[in-house]
Structure 1
Amino acid sequence: MPRTVFLDPGVNLENIEGTGALIGGYLPAHVLGVYAAPTPVEEGDDGADQVAGEGPPKLDVPWMIEHYKQVLRLLPGGLHVVGFIINATSESVSSKYESKIRKLLTSIRTYDPLVEEPFLLYTKSMKTSSLVTENTISSLEVKVYDSKLEFIQLDTKLILDCPVALKCGENSDRMLLAHAEKGIEKLERSMSTSLCLFNNQILQPDQPICPPQIKDSAKKGGKGKSTKANLDDTIESEDGEIVQYKVTVLTKDDLNVPEDVVIEDNNVRLKLLGEMKSRCYVPAGTSIKACREYIIQDVSRTIRGRIQLHCDVLVGEEVEASHIPVIHEPPRRVFTRLPATAGLAVSDYLYPGEGPEDSIESIKEIFGFTPTEDEIEDDLEIVAAVGDVKPDVDSKKEDKKKSFLGSSRQVLLSVGVAAISAGLAWFRFKQSAEDGEGEKE
């Protein structure tokens, strides 16, 4: 069923000179837009064809999709890129670029299956082209809401200890995303059967996390009734502060194996180890079932995102075969508040040795605003002590260890290097006759 699009009063569409991405969330009958991130000018492009008054902006689909993927990677669970924005009228763009629009909107569903009705919003006419089905482009009603759109913040802290054994042939000494996927899939299986406590309470799946801000009567249209939000008085928070819930994730102590089990030899052991922060933002009135899905979404999104970043850094580096466990430290997670929203934040990732100041430029490029260091939460994930990561190291080997501090070839037990958010322990061992001699399974 087509939804109505409600834009937060703080959404600055005038900031979009050419094109951009609209960040928001979903309720059963509404799409909520809370922030417009302008598409950065591509390197080597002077942006001359996107200046207002010189015809409609260029619809550069590949570059817009690349920007979209960068934005999506940094969004907490519950927030989506609900659509794209173009500084033009529907008449000047929709018919001329229909195939490009279809490709653009299809890409949203490809990378974020939870988005059901992606759309292209024309700022000069406040109309949309929405991909309702795979082959059907329709239009959604767009309104600016009367008050700030209220979201609920769900905070979760996870302690990871997820081992998995692999059979690796070529590149078994190298950390690859394809290898790490096995550990991520195991973590996702644990999350899929988990139980979530909200403020230490078990709530029913169809129960809303809190009373809805947007009443059904607002959509149906009562007798002269306003569509203005009526948040229930039971939602308590300080002025200007977002309502927060602490979520505890309880996982089952079961076998946790895929449906199709294959028994084979293995020569590599991987372990997701450490403490990580998960955060979601859901609209007031979201069901407990949907909240749980968004928590799982956020865990999967942040784990994959930071491991992908880490693996990209390792490309081209030399790797020496070793029997000593190697600690890989993906970047830690920080949060930056989105301006003109009701307390919403986006993520960024910092490598060891980096501070909040290193996040400013990337946030500016991707989201179009410049945060201050004080606006960046940098203390949610911290570097652990060496002993917390690898307490079982043979003490006899201590005098044989080389100093790896500052070495990018092996990130191994450097002072301050440990499991942060999702520490990856990558163990390599040979199954040779020498290693197996004197040992029994």
Structure 2
Amino acid sequence: MIIFDVQLQEWVTKSAKNHEFVSSDKGIPASAYFLIGSFCSDGDIHVAYASKCPVHTSALEENAPEKAKMLEDEWMSDHAERLLRMLPGGIHVVGIAWFSDKKTFLERKPHIHKTLGRIQKMNNQITTANVDESISDNMITVFFETPSTTPVGAIIDVTNRGNDSAQKVQFQKLEWISLVTNASARIVHNVPIEPGRPTDFYSDLVVATKNFVNNLFQCEFTLLDGEIRDEKEPLIKDIKKNKKTTIEAQLFLNPLYNREPGAIDEIASNVHEVLFDIEVRAAVPIRSTVKDAIRAIKHHLVRNVFARVELHYESMEVVEEEKSSKTGITVHQLPRPATTVLYTHPAILINDFLFEADNVEDAQKNFDDMMDLQTSIEHVDEGWERALTPEEMEAVRTPIEDLHFVDYDGSNDSWCTTKHFSSLSP
């Protein structure tokens, strides 16, 4: 079943009217919204919020061509990816709401399904690094044949040629609960250089963190409020008596994961040291199982790190720090978070990521542009982390203690030996 939060009834009415206006005034054939929510433990899909997919600015110009007014799958996918980066673990883009006449919907249906397939792949990539099981192979469409506000729901199996099946849509009061922890890690890994292939920052980071991410998802030990729980149990045993709004978690890694006995020295020419210390604020529906709650925490950690890596990699087309001539070390400082709560569901914390020159006003604008949150600046928190000082950056450029640089005859490259390890502090 598809369940919309009851507060979205007003949004449906408003969105249907808005589409009627842009359709008659600008000739826009359809309006699309990304549905933000959770894939629930019982198979239902809960929707907490809807974020409008903008049309291209050229579509609003006078005498705009019909093609410019269409929402193409690539355009929608790009905007969905930007949204995914902002969402906490346990919260996903679960589908698309579509407002138009029936003819337009049927014509655009293949493009909508293609978009959903892309969103599902992007979600798995950024949230699990494609090393854990798929978050969900099902996505949803909810069609509103304007001016009607009656929802027509469907479940789309994106792995099976986009086959869809009708699904009932209801409006109910929904509730999410926060899952909080802190995670810090130092990962050191040599990424072998393939002959003839230039090194790529993003691809190298994926390889460098692969063992860590695998270990994270495969380790079964997690404490919830200080207890080890059966993963099949409901997260909240008695919902009617529940007064909790937050559950504290402690994550663990297997210290012997994928490790040979003893330390092994290796010659390394492309060493990556990944350091982070971040706050985790995931959210799940209150009727979730322990298993899904733990997955949401791990999803948050991976998505939070990889969202920053993607943003930083995209920005490197403009600015990239030069390597130190002495050590060959390049330092990449990833963007820091700024957050605000989803005002209808305070357990859901939305993230934006700021570069060194950005400030809280930039985050406020991004929340408004991407999700129409219209949050006040007092409700935007950028105090989670800070940019490194010049002195700290210089300290980071100092070669890692574990690395022993040696001369390599016949090459100007720096070489070293390192012992591989990673750790996660609860």
Identify the TM-score tier after normalising by the shorter chain.
0.7 to 0.9
Query: Structure 1, residues 388-438: CA drift from partner, whole Å, max 9, x if none?
Result: 7776877xxxxxxxxxxxxxxxxx9xxxxxxxxxxx99x9967524999xx
Separation (CA, whole Å) in 1 of partners of 2:326 and 2:202: 21
Separation (CA, whole Å) in 1 of partners of 2:360 and 2:376: 9
Separation (CA, whole Å) in 1 of partners of 2:404 and 2:373: 44
The amino acid of 1:13's aligned partner reads V
TM-score with structure 2 setting the length: 0.76
Q: Is the 8 A contact 1:24 1:34 kept in 2?
A: yes
Structure 2 counterpart SS, 1:128: strand
Distance 1:104 1:300, change over 3 A: same
Who is 1:115 aligned against?
136
Q: Which of 375, 379, 383 is matched with 1:375 structurally?
A: 379
Who is 2:212 aligned against?
187
Separation (CA, whole Å) in 1 of partners of 2:247 and 2:345: 18
Shift of 1:269: 1.4
Shift of 1:110: 2.1
Is residue 2:368 matched to residue 1:333?
A: no
Shift of 1:335: 1.7
- C-alpha RMSD of matched pairs (Å): 3.6
Q: Is the 8 A contact 1:323 1:430 kept in 2?
A: no
Separation (CA, whole Å) in 2 of partners of 1:43 and 1:307: 29
Query: Structure 1, residues 51-78: CA drift from partner, whole Å, max 9, x if none?
Result: xxxxxx8443222111111111211110
Separation (CA, whole Å) in 1 of partners of 2:97 and 2:184: 39
Shift of 1:252: 1.8
Who is 1:219 aligned against?
none
- Structure ranking higher in strand proportion: 2
Who is 2:325 aligned against?
322
Q: Is the 8 A contact 2:216 2:253 kept in 1?
A: yes
Who is 1:143 aligned against?
170
Who is 1:152 aligned against?
177
Shift of 1:107: 2.2
Who is 2:243 aligned against?
236
Q: Which of 231, 235, 249 is matched with 1:209 structurally?
A: 235
Is residue 2:114 matched to residue 1:103?
A: yes
Distance 1:138 1:199, change over 3 A: same
Q: Is the 8 A contact 2:331 2:396 kept in 1?
A: no
Who is 2:93 aligned against?
81
Who is 1:240 aligned against?
none
Q: Is the 8 A contact 2:191 2:208 kept in 1?
A: no
- Structure ranking higher in helix proportion: 2
Shift of 1:284: 0.9
Who is 2:421 aligned against?
none
Q: Is the 8 A contact 1:277 1:333 kept in 2?
A: no
Separation (CA, whole Å) in 2 of partners of 1:306 and 1:264: 29
Who is 1:21 aligned against?
34
Query: Structure 1, residues 287-324: CA drift from partner, whole Å, max 9, x if none?
Result: 11112222222222111110111122222547346333
Structure 1 counterpart SS, 2:350: strand
The amino acid of 2:243's aligned partner reads E
Of 12-21 and 346-355, deviating more is 12-21
The amino acid of 2:139's aligned partner reads P
Distance 1:171 1:49, change over 3 A: farther
Q: Is the 8 A contact 2:324 2:330 kept in 1?
A: no
The amino acid of 2:349's aligned partner reads A
The amino acid of 2:365's aligned partner reads E
Who is 2:283 aligned against?
281
Separation (CA, whole Å) in 2 of partners of 1:428 and 1:82: 48
Of 117-126 and 317-326, deviating more is 317-326
Q: Is the 8 A contact 2:53 2:76 kept in 1?
A: yes
Separation (CA, whole Å) in 2 of partners of 1:25 and 1:166: 35
Instruction: List runs of 5+ in structure 1 lacking aligned partners.
Output: 51-56, 213-230, 238-242, 395-411, 413-423
Query: Structure 1, residues 104-125: CA drift from partner, whole Å, max 9, x if none?
Result: 3322332234133212211333
Q: Which of 15, 39, 56 is matched with 2:53 structurally?
A: 39
Distance 1:96 1:268, change over 3 A: closer
Structure 1 counterpart SS, 2:193: coil
Separation (CA, whole Å) in 1 of partners of 2:333 and 2:397: 18
Separation (CA, whole Å) in 1 of partners of 2:250 and 2:116: 35
Separation (CA, whole Å) in 1 of partners of 2:195 and 2:355: 28
Distance 1:320 1:388, change over 3 A: closer
Separation (CA, whole Å) in 2 of partners of 1:48 and 1:185: 50
Separation (CA, whole Å) in 1 of partners of 2:138 and 2:343: 26
Distance 1:34 1:152, change over 3 A: same
Who is 1:8 aligned against?
5
Q: Is the 8 A contact 1:22 1:36 kept in 2?
A: yes
Aligned residues: 372
Is residue 2:189 matched to residue 1:164?
A: yes
Task: Trace 1:217-228 onto structure 2 (pairs within 5 A).
Answer: none
Separation (CA, whole Å) in 1 of partners of 2:330 and 2:62: 50
Separation (CA, whole Å) in 2 of partners of 1:9 and 1:175: 46
Distance 1:196 1:357, change over 3 A: same
Who is 1:415 aligned against?
none
Query: Structure 1, residues 353-401: CA drift from partner, whole Å, max 9, x if none?
Result: 432211122222211222222112222223466777776877xxxxxxx
Separation (CA, whole Å) in 2 of partners of 1:179 and 1:328: 13
Separation (CA, whole Å) in 2 of partners of 1:80 and 1:333: 18
Distance 1:367 1:171, change over 3 A: farther
Separation (CA, whole Å) in 1 of partners of 2:270 and 2:38: 41
Separation (CA, whole Å) in 2 of partners of 1:97 and 1:353: 41
Is residue 2:355 matched to residue 1:355?
A: no
TM-score with structure 1 setting the length: 0.74
Distance 1:207 1:172, change over 3 A: same
Shift of 1:96: 2.6
Is residue 2:280 matched to residue 1:266?
A: no
Distance 1:387 1:203, change over 3 A: farther
Separation (CA, whole Å) in 1 of partners of 2:321 and 2:293: 43
